[in-house]
Amino acid sequence: MYESGQVRKEAAITTSVCVYRFFMEYEEYAKHEYYMRLALEEAEKAREIDEVPVGAVVVRGGAVIARAHNLRETNKQASAHAEFLAMQKASSYLGTWCLDDCDLYVTLEPCMMCTGAIILARIANLYYGTKDPKAGAVDSVIEVRKISRLNHHVNVESGYLEQECGDILRAFFKEKRQKPKRDKSQFKIDK
């Protein structure tokens, strides 16, 4: 009797621990998904003004302190990427270049420039949505996570709202391909 009672008790404890862990993990996942959805909202703002739809938010202590979207065409700046602008805003807000107590959420895997800026700003955690096989510098073209000699290592997690972060980009470029190309002959210079 004692043994079966003990087994039941242990089984109940194990189940409770599993349920607790499940809810803790779910809560953690839901938190990241929430912030990534805010980044996706920024990506949507970029799409509305015909910019490549990428968005980013910077979070500190649970509060969103900066949000931005890609403005490369609008600003006519190659560096006007969503996460780069979001980090600039965060630095202005906090009055420091050092963002070591901040987390960055961005819908697309950061490029070389942005990955460099993320490391220089000492971002604590980077969460990105979908991979960029052509320019990603975290896991794709360059695997910055494997460069051990860097003096700062950002913790990276990916795949939050991956499908939606990728879908908005795919739809944008599909639409671009379907539009008639500009007649370049009008730009020819008479000799």
Least separation in angstroms between residue 115's CB and Zn ion is: 8
Interface residue with Zn ion among 66, 111, 123, 169 (CB under 5 A) is 111
Length of the chain: 191
Interface residue with Zn ion among 114, 138, 144, 161 (CB under 5 A) is 114
Between CA 94 and CA 115 the distance in angstroms is: 20
- Say which of 42, 51, 83, 109 is annotated catalytic: 83
Q: Is residue 117 a contact point for Zn ion (CB under 5 A)? A: no
- Residue of this chain nearest to Zn ion (CB atom): 114
Helix (H, G, I), strand (E, B) or coil at 12: helix
CA distances 4 to 1, 11, 80, Å, are 5, 10, 66
Between CA 11 and CA 168 the distance in angstroms is: 46
Between CA 148 and CA 140 the distance in angstroms is: 17
82-94 helix and 2-48 helix, angle to the nearest 10 degrees: 100
83 assigned to active site: yes
Query: Which residues in 51-90 contact Zn ion (CB under 5 A)?
Result: 81
| Residue with Cβ nearer Zn ion (34 or 89) | 89
Least separation in angstroms between residue 34's CB and Zn ion is: 23
| Residue with Cβ nearer Zn ion (94 or 135) | 135
Interaction site with Zn ion (CB under 5 A): 81, 111, 113-114
**Which active-site residues does the annotation give?**
83
